[in-house]
Amino acid sequence: MANAAKKSLDQPDERVAAEGIAADVVQVGDASVSRNIFQPGAHCALGGRTMPGNVRARESCLAHHTGVLLEGRLHVEMDDGSTLDIAPNDVFDIPPGHDGWVTSEAPMRAINWSGVRTWMPAAESGERMLATMLVTDIVGSTELAARLGHERWRELLAQHNRIVRNELDRLRGREVTTTGDGFLAVFDSPGRAIRAAIGIRAALASIGVEVRQGVHTGEVERVGEDVRGIAVHEASRIAAAAGAGEILVSTTTRALAGSDGLAFVDRGSHELKGLDGARDLFGVEAAT
């Protein structure tokens, strides 16, 4: 049984600051929590630019934020055009693909337990970049949902989502999309992507949920909050080839992460649906 623990946000493990935003971050057990202070006019989408005439170019924040606003007011605009105004004592959940800015004269203060670190700027839309993708999928989700019933399945799925998002945030992964019972996330480091997968596997096993996961490194194109390219499909196919509780990685990812204290086992050659030629895959055994 885990021990009870506490930490003070007045003595954070990490301080993050950029363009009118300051965040104090603590890690307590499996949870990352931050206290954020946004100055008046500060934008969540840090990649945004102020153009002549004080007009701001449209950019998107790709983090998934969940938290409670304590002081000030925040206006949020989603990429689909919908808006949300958040006031003190409002509990919020803001998916990736948005911008938000302080509309009050006083600073906005909020506590976040999702999207704690991943609001730093991403690559510009249309830019091609090398990224490591992590794909997760709950094993036997349909059967599990039928056995548990609607309410219990919904609660378990919400717990699963919190766990995955915390591990992504802890290791600076960016959630791209969720499929209902799985996630696609991108990382700028193969080692961090694999360690996130290890953390997800262990944390979900503790609540009786098994996942299959695939990790692949390749060139992708960022389109809005999405990423596209053959590498994305390859990561998905690698995940589909994994068994319950298994993390499979491509040859490329293994080679790039080989000196990061990770241990792999050869899982042989696999034909991946829709892709030409067999791929050598490796299972993740341990991390030091």
pLDDT band for position 30 (cuts 50, 70, 90): low
Which tokens sit at 87? 């006031």
CATH 3.30.70.1230 in the chain is located at 128-287
pLDDT tens digits, residue range 129-150? Answer: 889 999 999 999 999 999 999 9
Parallel, antiparallel, or unpaired: how do β-strands 174-178 and 182-187 relate? antiparallel
Mean pLDDT of all residues belonging to the chain = 86
Please report which residue ranges of the chain form alpha helices under DSSP H.
Answer: 141-148, 150-170, 190-205, 230-241, 251-257
132 against 125, higher pLDDT: 132
Q: Please check the confidence at residue 252 and state whether its pLDDT lies above 90.
A: yes
DSSP 168-199: HHHTT-EEEEE-SSEEEEEES-HHHHHHHHHH
Residue 89 class from Cβ within 10 Å (0-12 exposed, 13-18 middle, 19+ buried)? exposed
Summarize the confidence of residues 164-187 as an average pLDDT: 90
Identify the architecture of domain 128-287 in CATH.
2-Layer Sandwich (3.30)
- Residue 29's SS3 state is coil
Write the CATH number of the domain with boundaries 14-114.
Answer: 2.60.120.10
Under 8 Å between Cβ of 121 and 174: no
CA 11 to chain centre: 25
Summarize the confidence of residues 224-249 as an average pLDDT: 91
Query: Which residues are within 8 A (CB) of 90 and not within 5 positions of it... i.e. 6 or more apart?
Result: 68, 69
67 against 222, higher pLDDT: 67
Summarize the confidence of residues 212-224 as an average pLDDT: 89
Check residue 31 and give its pLDDT: 74
CATH 2.60.120.10 in the chain is located at 14-114
253 against 285, higher pLDDT: 253
